[in-house]
Amino acid sequence: MLESLKKMFSGNEGDMPVNTGSKPDISREKSKELYEKAKTYFPGGVNSPVRAFKSVYGTPLFIQKGDGCFVWDADGNQFIDFCGSWGPLILGHNPPKVREKVIETMQNGMSFGAPTALENELAELIIKNNKHVEKIRFTSSGTEAVMSAIRLARGYTRRDKILKFEGCYHGHSDSLLVKAGSGLVTFGETSSLGVPKSFAEETIVIPLNDTEALTQAFAQFKDQLAAVIIEGIPANNGLLIQDPAYIEFLQKICKDNGTLLIFDEVITGFRLGFEGAAGYYNAKPDIVTYGKILGGGLPVGMYGASAEIMGHISPDGGVYQAGTLSGNPVAMSAGIAQLTELLKSGFYKELNAKATEFAEGIQRFATARSYKFKVFHVGSIFWFAFTDKDKIQCAEDIDPASMEKFKVMHRELLNRGIYLGPSGYEVGFVSAAHTKIELEKAKRAILEALDIVFRK
Ligand SMILES: *Cc1c(COP(=O)(O)O)cnc(C)c1O
């Protein structure tokens, strides 16, 4: 036993750490002061709800700057960051190549509301290297991209209903702020006040990874479903990695019923590989949506499909969609600079290998200690789950009570200079800027935090 344990620990984990004890809380004086001010200006003191630290200890940290894999808060605390602005920063914070291109473009102005060559340049980078899109349209956020993709699917099929999955997030447009009602296949219930019940009735919600529910939904709403929308790999409510067979089934049932399959790749696009989850599964979605990484940290979204389907978008077709700042030159420049780096040979191989080693090292330690803890990971996305299940593939499999453990872990990690998104339902991201040294440091802090979480 001892020998096998030693073997497990050989290399990275060593025989450390052993219950080093909680560290004192970091100073948050400046952040607290800013937060009090912010609360007088913004609901909850924030401009997007998850930033408010409602499910972890303390007040939100106000970030002052980022560089590489690090961020610094207003009190001068330094953190190794695994939030990466919720996914866009695959090259880390403030990469010189992106910054320089943005500054160069800004010398000539910020917005024209007329076409620029930069839009062509970014579109060409994407279309030449992605077999899933022949034509695209840029938007200014992921929400907008998904909302427009749904409208396109409805316009193209002349059908009204859409189907989504419990545990997938697709931005905050009305049709998609809908959760499952009771029963296997039901009309959705609104998950936000302000969404009309009649809208929710056009959205069917079923569990992930459940072929029976899919079959039943298609039987029940025969010839009514315009689209099925799924996150390429669901990564907004834990990391719910679907089996390839399920994705295949999904494609087939959509095809057989004349329903368009939308892959919402706002997180997974350019993250799992240049072709995102569609590339990962070798799937053929009819419409794809991208955001986050696409804009290199500036606000950009996009949807794309075959030229035939995209021909339905105005001004070519009858589906209206527009944007004052769509294709903004500064944002396009950030996208061009970032995607150019991603296309360099070996980029994903190196990043994914680094992230895998990080995730597996943490898992080896937790397993050796018999902790009820799993690191689910794919590509450079990881998720810490306090569970003993080997697979978590639908929202229902996540135990809400386990989030108490995440809360303790989050605090211990902040106090050790590690920044994770402030919710146990959120995934973390390894970027190209995380060096092996920083990942080793982070791993050590995570192991220490786990020892504290599971301290008897
Ligand atoms: C982040 C996200 C969105 C929404 O994008 P915003 O830019 O926040 O509007 C939509 N879908 C998925 C899968 C996302 O991860």
pLDDT digits (tens, 9 = 90+) for 26-66: 999 999 999 999 999 999 999 999 999 999 999 999 999 99
Mutate to test the pocket of ligand 1, among 86, 233, 292, 300 (most ligand atoms within 8 A of CB): 292
Asked whether residue 221 falls in the same domain as residue 272, the answer is yes
* 101 within some domain: yes
Asked whether residue 142 carries a pLDDT value surpassing 90, the answer given is: yes
Asked whether residue 227 carries a pLDDT value surpassing 60, the answer given is: yes
Ligand 1, atom 11, residue with closest C-alpha: 170
Asked whether residue 123 falls in the same domain as residue 190, the answer is yes
Q: What share of the chain is helix, strand, coil (3-state, %, to 5)?
A: 40, 15, 45
Distance, CA of 191 to CA of 175 (rounded, Å): 10
Distance 84 CA to ligand 1 centre (A): 14
Asked whether residue 178 falls in the same domain as residue 296, the answer is yes
169 included as an active-site residue: yes
pLDDT per residue over 345-371, tens digit each? 999 999 999 999 999 999 999 999 999
Distance, CA of 241 to CA of 238 (rounded, Å): 9
* 71 within some domain: yes
Asked whether residue 14 carries a pLDDT value surpassing 50, the answer given is: no
* 86 within some domain: no
Asked whether residue 175 falls in the same domain as residue 77, the answer is no
Distance 269 CA to ligand 1 centre (A): 11
Contacts 24+ apart (CB under 8 A), 396-399: 396/166, 396/207, 398/237, 398/238, 398/425
Atom of ligand 1 minimally distant from the CA of 142: 5
The rounded percent of the chain whose pLDDT value lies above 90 is 92
pLDDT per residue over 252-305, tens digit each? 999 999 999 999 999 999 999 999 999 999 999 999 999 999 999 999 999 999
Atom of ligand 1 minimally distant from the CA of 232: 13
Q: Which two tokens stand for residue 144?
A: 């907008």
How many Cα atoms are found within 13 Å in the side-chain-facing hemisphere of 115?
7
pLDDT at 412: 97
Atom of ligand 1 minimally distant from the CA of 144: 9
Asked whether residue 456 carries a pLDDT value surpassing 90, the answer given is: no
The domain total for the chain is 2
* 407 within some domain: no
CATH number assigned to the domain comprising residue 423:
3.90.1150.10
Pocket of ligand 1 (CB under 6 A): 141-143, 146, 169-171, 231, 236, 264, 266-267, 291-292, 301
**Containing domain of residue 239, as a range?**
96-342
CATH number assigned to the domain comprising residue 158:
3.40.640.10
Asked whether residue 264 falls in the same domain as residue 329, the answer is yes
* 91 within some domain: no
Distance, CA of 128 to CA of 126 (rounded, Å): 6
Asked whether residue 57 falls in the same domain as residue 156, the answer is no
Asked whether residue 52 falls in the same domain as residue 120, the answer is no
Asked whether residue 66 falls in the same domain as residue 107, the answer is no
pLDDT tier for residue 19 given thresholds of 50, 70 and 90? low
Asked whether residue 176 falls in the same domain as residue 57, the answer is no
Distance 291 CA to ligand 1 centre (A): 7
264 included as an active-site residue: yes
Catalytic residue among 101, 164, 292, 354: 292
Distance 82 CA to ligand 1 centre (A): 17
**Residue type at 58 in one-letter notation:** G
Q: How far, in Å, are 63, 82, 174, 400, 403 from residue 60 at the CA level?
A: 9, 16, 28, 22, 18
* 90 within some domain: no
Distance, CA of 319 to CA of 331 (rounded, Å): 25
Indicate whether this model's pTM tops 0.85: yes
pLDDT at 10: 42
* 403 within some domain: no
pLDDT at 7: 43
| Burial of 407 from C-beta contacts in 10 A (0-12 / 13-18 / 19+) | middle
397 included as an active-site residue: no
Asked whether residue 383 carries a pLDDT value surpassing 90, the answer given is: yes
Atom of ligand 1 minimally distant from the CA of 289: 11
* 383 within some domain: no
* Residue (of 273, 314, 269) closest to 287 by Cα position: 269
pLDDT at 8: 43
Higher-confidence residue of 340 and 188: namely 340
Asked whether residue 334 falls in the same domain as residue 360, the answer is no
Residue 187: strand pairing partners: 204
Distance 126 CA to ligand 1 centre (A): 19
pLDDT tier for residue 15 given thresholds of 50, 70 and 90? very low
pLDDT at 282: 97
Do residues 56 and 410 make contact, with C-beta atoms less than 8 angstroms apart?
Answer: yes
Mutate to test the pocket of ligand 1, among 146, 233, 239, 381 (most ligand atoms within 8 A of CB): 146
Asked whether residue 18 carries a pLDDT value surpassing 60, the answer given is: no
* Mean per-residue pLDDT of the chain: 94
Cα angle, residue 84 at apex, residues 440 and 427 outer, rounded to 5°: 80
Distance 298 CA to ligand 1 centre (A): 13
Return the CA Rg of the chain.
22
Asked whether residue 65 falls in the same domain as residue 119, the answer is no
Asked whether residue 360 falls in the same domain as residue 228, the answer is no
Catalytic residue among 264, 374, 443, 451: 264
